[in-house]
Amino acid sequence: MAEEEVVDPKKYLEESCKPKCVKPLLEYQACVKRIQGDDSGHKHCTGQYFDYWSCIDKCVSSFDFPFSVHFVIFLYVMILR
Amino acid sequence: MVGGGVIQQILRRKLHSQSLATPVLSWFASKKVNEDAGSSGVRALALLGAGVTGLFSFSTVASADEAEHGLACPDYPWPHDGILSSYDHASIRRGHQVYQQVCASCHSMSLISYRDLVGVAYTEEEAKAMAAEIEVVDGPNDEGEMFTRPGKLSDRLPQPYANESAARFANGGAYPPDLSLITKARHNGQNYVFALLTGYRDPPAGISIREGLHYNPYFPGGAIAMPKMLNDEAVEYEDGVPATEAQMGKDVVSFLSWAAEPEMEERKLMGFKWIFLLSLALLQAAYYRRLKWSVLKSRKLVLDVVN
Q: Please choose, from the candidates B176, B197, B196, the residue with its C-alpha nearest in 3D space to the C-alpha of residue B108.
A: B176
ipTM topping 0.95: no
Q: Structure pTM? A: 0.77
How confident is the model over B207-229, as pLDDT tens digits?
Answer: 999 999 999 999 999 999 999 99
Do B101 and B235 contact (CB within 8 A), yes or no?
A: yes
d(CA B128, CA B151): 8
CA angle B5, B8, B13 (to 5 degrees): 130
Q: Judge: B205–A45 Cβ closer than 8 Å, yes or no.
A: yes
Break chain A down into helix, strand, coil percent, rounded to 5: 70, 0, 30
- Residue B12, pLDDT above cutoff 90: no
Give the range among A3-7, A8-12, B129-133 with minimum mean pLDDT: A3-7
Q: In this model, does residue A18 exceed pLDDT 90? A: yes
Separation between Cα atoms, residue B230 and residue B286, nearest integer Å: 56
pLDDT of amino acid A7:
85
Lowest mean pLDDT among B1-5, B9-13, B174-178: B1-5
Would you tell me how many other CB atoms lie within 10 Å of the CB of residue B218? Answer: 24
Q: Residue A42 — very low, low, confident or very high, per pLDDT cuts 50/70/90?
A: confident
Helix (H) or strand (E) holding B99: none
Which residues of A have a CB under 8 Å from any CB of B? Answer: 4, 6-11, 28, 31-32, 35-36, 38, 41, 43-50, 53-54, 57-58, 60-61, 64-69, 72, 76
Q: What share of chain B is helix, strand, coil (3-state, %, to 5)?
A: 55, 5, 40
Out of B66, B207, B246, name the one closest to residue A67 (CB). B246
Cβ contact B151:B135 at 8 Å? yes
pLDDT tens digit sequence for B248-257:
999 999 999 9
Alpha helices (H) along B63-175? 66-69, 89-98, 124-132, 164-170
Kindly tell me if the per-residue pLDDT of B164 is higher than 50.
Answer: yes
